[in-house]
Every structure is written in C-alpha cells, then in structure tokens.
Amino acid sequence: DQQVKQNSPSLSVQEGRISILNCDYTNSMFDYFLWYKKYPAEGPTFLISISSIKDKNEDGRFTVFLNKSAKHLSLHIVPSQPGDSAVYFCAASGDSGNTPLVFGKGTRLSVIA
C-alpha cells in the first residue's frame, strides 16, 4: 500500500505561471517531508524540505506547504521556468533513525515557453 501518493503523473504549465505539485500521505507518523527534482539521466537532487512543526517553508521560487490535518503537502514554483521541467518526487520520513525515506512515484512537470 502506497504511503506517499502523487496522484498526477504529469503536469504542463506555461512559463511564468505557477506550478503546483501535490502529494498525499497516509502514515500519521511521518514528520519530515522532502521534495526532489530529477532530470533524465541524472540522479534526484534535493530541493526543499519541511518539518511537521511548520506549515510553510520557502526557498526562492520554491515553497512547500504542509496541511497535517489533510495529510497533504504541495510544492509551488513561482514563476515557472523551462529549466524547471523535470520529474518531481515527494518523500516522507517518520523518524531520525534508520528508517529510509518513503518516496512517491513522481510527477513530470513540463514548463512550456
């Protein structure tokens, strides 16, 4: 059973507009959430994270929002740029020990010029 779900396999957005990528989770023990970005033929790179004690974290054009009651998080990219076209993975963690991150299946974002 998937504990981290990204229900949209793909998303297309016009350059300059906002991209919103969504992620849902089922495990209420998760308390740390991350977003990764992956280009073809490269490994995923860490983008931004948020702890469950916060509901928003911002880093430049990227903002992650966390709604604990809905078990939902989203990544906002404003403004979107063609270089943002990539696969985005949501991941979650429940402890700081040895349990690995749980990843979603990814959303492919295409930013159209």
Partner 1 sequence: DVKVTQSSRYLVKRTGEKVFLECVQDMDHENMFWYRQDPGLGLRLIYFSYDVKMKEKGDIPEGYSVSREKKERFSLILESASTNQTSMYLCASSLFGGGIQHFGDGTRLSIL
Q: Interface with partner 1 by CB under 8 A: which residues? A: 9, 32, 34, 36, 41-46, 49, 89, 93-101, 103-106
In terms of CB distance, is 10 or 12 closer to partner 1? 10
In terms of CB distance, is 44 or 77 closer to partner 1? 44
CB 43 to partner 1: min, Å: 3
In terms of CB distance, is 15 or 22 closer to partner 1? 22
Confirm if 52 and 44 have CB atoms less than 8 A apart: no
CB 48 to partner 1: min, Å: 10
CB 94 to partner 1: min, Å: 7
Confirm if 73 and 4 have CB atoms less than 8 A apart: no
CB 113 to partner 1: min, Å: 25
Tell me which amino acid residue 14 is.
Q
Q: How far apart are CA 41 and CA 113, in angstroms?
A: 23
Selection from 73, 36, 37 nearest residue 52 by Cα: 73
Confirm if 111 and 96 have CB atoms less than 8 A apart: no
